[in-house]
Amino acid sequence: MNFEKYPFERLNELLADVVPNEEYELSALTIGEPKFETPGFIQKTLKETTASLKKYPASGGLPELKQAMVNFVKERFNVDIKQSEVIPTFGTREALFNFPQFALFDKKDPVIAFTNPFYQIYEGAAIASRAEVIHIDLTKENDFKAQLSDEELKRCDLVILNYPNNPTSAEMTKEELGLWVKKALEFDFILINDECYSEIYFDEDDKPASLLEASIEVGNTSFKNVLVMNSISKRSSAPGLRSGFVAGDEEILKAYMKYRTYVGCASPVPLQITAAVAWNNKEHVDEFRAVYKENFQLAKEILGINPPKATFYIWLEVKDELEFTKELYKQKHIKVLPGSFLGRNGIGKGYVRIALVENAQKTKEVLTRLKDFIDGQK
């Protein structure tokens, strides 16, 4: 298999010969990893459950973990799902990689479509599945919203959307997602929305919609051909807990579960017990959300940008993203990720992705440094 280099490896190569300004401490705004302590109640639960390491973890997940995920979907999206309509996963990365291989295995000439720019696991899954790729280009002209022609959709076996979107921070409404559900039924392809940023939003009256909500809205109450994936990593500042899920079409999940028993990716029992506690608690998420909201208020004041409605990313338009990245590192000791490393066919060129995952004090300092650099480029 010939996998492309990961964006962070390409960034290291880009900056290899650049000598940074050591007057400043390094600020890495590149990776979507929260820099906050995992809440104490989550850590406490994990420490208290180590005795369960003597047990093999069930591939299908503990009933209490599945119920916590059912509870989350009900509380957050007002959608009732059954335990048979959800599978706990070892984060979402492993499922995003292996589900396409499962779903496309029996297809003669498989075709997968996914948003572009993208989380590189989508592309890796396509390569591992020997699938032809149709890129769903997200541009300023289409408001970074996914669009494909009927001719392209007729060819698709699997489509992966990602809203709220990484890296553009764009959203799609429930009505817009509903149109995709209708197309999935009309042309009989599996539709996935990667919703791992659904909980990083800033307005209680304008929360990101789920594809499950959209499915019900258009009358697809059994979620036929529809799946969502979500994760606790961003929501609970616990990426090391490796707790995610895939939910939706019961028939697809039944077959996928059989496949998963062979993959051997069941989460250890202590992690499952701890994850159940975290999924059942929303107060700690409100606290993290308040920090991210403050960070974007600072970004608005300092950089003059319009804050996104969700995610913790700024998709900043620049003249030359590679030169911008190198000079910013050289002059201000700040790392950002060139948008062209996240896209294909020229998509992402002219942008850098900035992750605001620190506390407000650190965020204010680095954004001020960034502003000084931008002003110096004019």
Residue-level pLDDT at 58 = 87
**Would you call 137 helix, strand, or coil by DSSP?**
strand
| Residues 90/232, Cβ–Cβ less than 8 Å | no
Q: Dihedral through CA 55, CA 61, CA 66, CA 67, nearest 10? A: -30
Contact (Cβ atoms closer than 8 angstroms) between residue 215 and residue 237? no
Beta strand pairing call for 190-194 and 158-161: parallel
Report the C-alpha gap between 69 and 311 in whole angstroms.
21
Tokens of residue 335, six digits? 């790392």
The segments of the chain whose pLDDT lies below 70 read none
Diameter over CA atoms, the chain: 62
Domain boundaries defined on the chain: 7-37+284-377, 49-281
How many Cα atoms sit within 13 Å of 255 on the Cβ side?
A: 11
Per-residue pLDDT at 3: 87
Query: Can you list the alpha helix ranges (DSSP code H) found in 60-134?
Result: 63-77, 93-104, 121-128
Q: What's the CA gap between 115 and 113, in Å, rounded?
A: 7
β-strands 334-335, 313-317 pairing: unpaired
Predicted confidence at residue 295, as pLDDT, reads 96
Q: Which long-range contacts (CB under 8 A, 24 or more apart) does 260-264 make?
A: 260/59, 260/60, 260/87, 260/98, 261/59, 263/94, 263/98, 264/59
Pairing of strands 337-338, 351-355: antiparallel
User: Domain 49-281, what fold?
Assistant: Aspartate Aminotransferase; domain 2 (3.40.640)
State which fold the 7-37+284-377 domain adopts. Aspartate Aminotransferase, domain 1 (3.90.1150)
What is residue 87's three-state secondary structure?
A: strand
Instruction: Point out which residues pair with 93 in neighbouring strands.
Output: none
Long-range contacts of 179-183 (CB under 8 A, 24+ apart): 180/146, 180/211, 180/214, 181/211, 181/214, 181/215, 181/218, 181/220, 181/225, 181/226, 182/218, 183/150, 183/153
User: Sign of the C-alpha dihedral, residues 264, 243, 96, 211?
Assistant: positive
Q: Which of 32, 4, 26, 44 is nearest to 273 (CA)?
A: 44
CA–CA separation, 92 vs 75, rounded Å?
Answer: 21
**CA pair distance 265, 95, nearest whole angstrom:** 9
As a whole number of Å, the end-to-end CA separation of the chain is 44
pLDDT of residue 185: 98
